[in-house]
Structure 1
Amino acid sequence: MDVQPLYGTLRQRRRPEDVAELLLPVLEGRLSPAELTTLRQAAAHSLRRGVWQYTAMLQTFRQPVGASRQVQTAAELFDMVPAPALRYEEAGEVEAFLQEVNPLIGKTVGRNNYRTDRLDRAAREAQGLDLSKRQYNKRFRAVRHLEEKLLTMLAEQRKVQFEQIAKSGLAHTLSYEEFAQDVDSAAFIAYYTARCNLRSEFTISGQQRPYDQVADMLFRRCAGRKPSAIAGWLGAAAVPASPSANWWAIAHVYPAPEVLAALNSQQQGELLGRWTTLLHEMATYLGHIWARNTFARETMVVKQGDDSSTWNAAAGSWNKARDAWMNLLYALGMEFVLEEMCFGKALRLMAADVVAWHYSAGQKLDPNTQVWATLPLPWEVFAGTARCTRAQVELACQQAGLDPLKSGWLAPRPHGVVPFRPTPELVHGVSVANPYLATVLKRHRYFSGKPTRPLGPEAAGNS
């Protein structure tokens, strides 16, 4: 059974309905009538079956702008021809090009100071460079700009990676061989990943939860159990695992306790190591972002000048990694670690208008914010410059009126099964009924927080 189209969706942001459409021919003849009805409920809203057959929302994660223009400029100065097969959209391709051109002017990669790192006439002659000062300076500047572009690409790629982790864990790191071992497992992974990758909506009633009726049906096929509501993961015993289910792959996107219980100790240890390494990297990254900004820690409300997009992507990935790390501690019987080292969550920044909406509806600030503001910062705990224990977290949750277990501060968070809901067409989080109207509104910056462009015929013709 070819599951290559499903595998391709793991690194995209396809609508769950469109993934369900892809699942129908893959699971044909394998589903019971009830299961087929559940899957068709989602596929009925796919783009192929819709009136518009179109969405204004990108079907991929935002990708950094490549360096083809900068490479072309440098190549012309050095009388080189860039490799025709390369588009220089990957950092590795740009690095290889820089390793090739830097020696041509006697320059070391990373040495870009215009005053101290350029070669004078004597140094150029000593290295056999038959270049005038003007020719040399043009090449030096071109390479320096390309190296700056590479750093920007690496930073943007890291943000994209963290955004993917924040949404769907390690799903995008699965190889095709790992993914394709079992059809039912691949079906669940593809659909659940699409559900996890849903965009956030501008709302005060909470975001859609990814584990819906379709995901539950697909997961139960892997577990070999009859469909039933999940009462919660706390204290859940390991369930009989389907011998053919690919629990290792499923754990990359859905590290729930009963999934981790189906892994062997080596697999559990490997995932614990991967998530711990990611936590270390993310903690350092969060600390750097925090140092460059002046976030209002007591409220986490965005103010002018805050780099909210970078922070929220990193905070989301930290929380996802922390949840998986904590789930693995419990799976391995190592929850005693929390007694001495218990990293806190990282709260996302909230837009002021959303906070005002909460207050106008009679709601208060999220009590998790109070816990976040009370506990030591996660990167300080990871670096060993501050201490955060289970007792500290329990006290902070108690003061904020939160259950430390059910709120996810000290234990795997329970969840249930939510009804399937079609994916809304969003423009900067605001739901718009018509996808073509959504395209126009997006083009003219509506709901973006930026000055809008007029919608008149003249403006539309120039847009």
Structure 2
Amino acid sequence: MLLPLLEQHLTPPELATLKRAAGNSLRRNAWHYTSMMEDFARPAGANKQAAKAAELLEYPLPAASDASIADYADPEQVRLLLQELSPRLAKNMGHNNYLTDRLDRKARQAAGLGDLSRRQYNKRFRALRHLEEKLQQLVFTSQQHQLQMVSKHGFAHEIAYEDFSRDLFSAAFIAYYTARCNLRSEFTNQSQERPFNTVADMLFRRCRDGQPPVSALRRWVTGALPPTGSSPAPAWWAIAQVYPAPQVLAQLSDEQKGELLGRWTALLQELADVLRHTWAANTFRRDSMVVKRGDDSSTWNITAGAWNKARDNWINLLYALGMEFVLEDLCPGKVLRLMAADVVAWHQQTGGQLDPNTLVWADLPLPWEVLNGTATCTRETVAAACARAGLNAAKSGWLAPRPHQVVPFRPTPELVHGVSVSNPYLALVLRKNKVFSGKLLPDF
């Protein structure tokens, strides 16, 4: 998608870099197909429960062209519908106990529902209860959907189109870097693929360094004209939503940096509450963080990923504003994800040891306790824990912005439960037959 937009503006080495990546795209590979999801899984709407409740209570659902309203995928739309339907049964929202909250015959008559039999009333009561239960589920899954996006690409999904489209190379960098951030994790005993690869670096340097002149030879070969006038300024505010590195934040005003700091701080407070509830509902092995049967690893890992992303960006902004002194009094630690036992066993068989970050995590106060004031964790506390674990506190991201690193470009793999396979059709067959899922395989 980027190649036809940028090829007239790139130098030959830059064009070669982009073409190497484009050569592996769906449009150019032999399959023209991928088995991988190309969007985050979205919450299932409450249209079934909403339609049934509206039918029983004789409430005409409004026709809407907006898919989120028609499918009742937005929790607020479901809540508004419940506010319309509940009074029709003289029911208060949140009062769903069959023993104490249903109306008897006398109460139904007093509420003007005397023409409903007990069976008809109970049927409508159950329909509203099911709709409220679906609302609670929808609130949770919608929150998880948002946190999953944040854990991958920060606030990229909230960038206004006006900001995104202001400058061509800024838009190109944001689009490409966000796509690389959104890759699924691989089943490996090594570190995951870093999103800032040679293509992202080339696009970012064009944002940072401006538009170089097109050579006379290139103008003659391609017919391209050199740019006239001044190029648009890079959209640093938009870039900072997805890549708030120190060199990006240095281009923002103090007001913009302060706004971002406020947003990431508010998100940390929200995440702390989710982490606290998830921790209390499970019995994680804090000293190893190896998942065991019964652990809600999905909720924990999504929230932990969002916390670490928010914490990294919060620290970046503190340094950008010259406010790193805050860490002297308030320095909540990272949150470690749960690891599958087979990955840990594979890592140990190949000579690996327990990740020293796990030792630091187990040694520090729980981050949500630090934020709510029931525990104290300072820069000195974190530095001492890192020293005991043999980690460099600054370079490992515990106390300072992570060091910048560019990795080589690697084509996006087809994955089956995290395992890379050779082509998408094989991936489809393997996934259908539960290969790599940890479940028993069917008889062939």
Alignment of 1:27-426 (within 5 A): 27-85=6-64, 86-129=70-113, 130-224=115-209, 244-426=233-415
| 1:372-409 CA-partner distances (Å, limit 9, x unpaired) | 00000000000100000111101100000000000000
Residue 345 (structure 1) shift: 0.1
Name the CA distance, whole Å, in 1 between partners of 2:160 and 2:75. 21
Tell me, yes or no, if the aligned pair for 1:220 and 1:226 is still in contact at 8 Å.
no
Which AA in structure 2 matches 1:197? N
Moved over 4 A (4+): none
Would you say how many aligned residue pairs link Structure 1 and Structure 2? 420
Q: 1:94 to 1:451 in 2, by over 3 A?
A: farther
The SS at the match of 1:325 is helix
Name the CA distance, whole Å, in 2 between partners of 1:136 and 1:41. 66
| 1:158-196 CA-partner distances (Å, limit 9, x unpaired) | 111111111101101112122112211111000000010
Name the CA distance, whole Å, in 2 between partners of 1:118 and 1:245. 61
The SS at the match of 1:29 is helix
Which AA in structure 1 matches 2:152? K
Residue 79 (structure 1) shift: 2.8
The SS at the match of 1:48 is coil
**Could you list the runs of 5+ residues in structure 2 that have no partner in the other structure?**
65-69, 213-230
| 1:319-357 CA-partner distances (Å, limit 9, x unpaired) | 000000000000000000001110100000000000001
Name the CA distance, whole Å, in 2 between partners of 1:25 and 1:226. 17
Which AA in structure 1 matches 2:414? E
Residue 60 (structure 1) shift: 0.6
Name the CA distance, whole Å, in 2 between partners of 1:418 and 1:410. 23
Residue 431 (structure 1) shift: 0.6
Which AA in structure 2 matches 1:312? N
Residue 452 (structure 1) shift: 3.2
| 1:394-432 CA-partner distances (Å, limit 9, x unpaired) | 110000000000000000000211110001100110011
Q: 1:194 to 1:319 in 2, by over 3 A?
A: same
Name the CA distance, whole Å, in 2 between partners of 1:225 and 1:395. 43
Which AA in structure 2 matches 1:88? Y
Residue 434 (structure 1) shift: 1.7
Q: 1:54 to 1:79 in 2, by over 3 A?
A: same
Which AA in structure 2 matches 1:388? C
Name the CA distance, whole Å, in 2 between partners of 1:450 and 1:138. 40
Q: 1:452 to 1:95 in 2, by over 3 A?
A: farther
Alignment of 1:445-460 (within 5 A): 445-454=434-443, 456=444
Which AA in structure 2 matches 1:77? L
| 1:7-44 CA-partner distances (Å, limit 9, x unpaired) | xxxxxxxxxxxxxxx11222242222222211111111
Which AA in structure 2 matches 1:76? E
**Could you list the runs of 5+ residues in structure 1 that have no partner in the other structure?**
1-21, 228-241, 457-463
| 1:34-93 CA-partner distances (Å, limit 9, x unpaired) | 222111111110011111111111101011221121122212212334334312222222
Residue 243 (structure 1) shift: 6.4
Residue 198 (structure 1) shift: 0.8
Name the CA distance, whole Å, in 2 between partners of 1:140 and 1:272. 46
Residue 225 (structure 1) shift: 6.2
Tell me, yes or no, if the aligned pair for 2:308 and 2:335 is still in contact at 8 Å.
yes
Tell me, yes or no, if the aligned pair for 1:299 and 1:365 is still in contact at 8 Å.
yes
The answer for the alignment partner of 1:427 in structure 2 is: 416
| 1:213-247 CA-partner distances (Å, limit 9, x unpaired) | 100011011101699xxxxxxxxxxxxxx861010
Q: 1:87 to 1:226 in 2, by over 3 A?
A: closer
Structure 1 range deviating more: 33-42 or 330-339: 33-42
Which AA in structure 2 matches 1:206? S
The answer for the alignment partner of 2:216 in structure 1 is: none
* Greater gyration radius: 2
Tell me, yes or no, if the aligned pair for 2:59 and 2:85 is still in contact at 8 Å.
no
Name the CA distance, whole Å, in 2 between partners of 1:422 and 1:166. 22
Tell me, yes or no, if the aligned pair for 2:185 and 2:418 is still in contact at 8 Å.
yes
Which AA in structure 2 matches 1:107? K
Name the CA distance, whole Å, in 2 between partners of 1:262 and 1:192. 19
Question: TM (normalized to structure 2)?
Answer: 0.92
Tell me, yes or no, if the aligned pair for 2:363 and 2:385 is still in contact at 8 Å.
yes
Tell me, yes or no, if the aligned pair for 2:208 and 2:234 is still in contact at 8 Å.
yes
Tell me, yes or no, if the aligned pair for 2:414 and 2:422 is still in contact at 8 Å.
yes
Tell me, yes or no, if the aligned pair for 2:166 and 2:232 is still in contact at 8 Å.
no
Structure 1 range deviating more: 170-179 or 311-320: 170-179
Question: TM (normalized to structure 1)?
Answer: 0.88
State the percentage of identical aligned residues.
Answer: 63
Structure 1 range deviating more: 168-177 or 375-384: 168-177
Tell me, yes or no, if the aligned pair for 1:171 and 1:252 is still in contact at 8 Å.
yes
Residue 132 (structure 1) shift: 1.6
Which AA in structure 1 matches 2:5? V
The SS at the match of 1:112 is coil
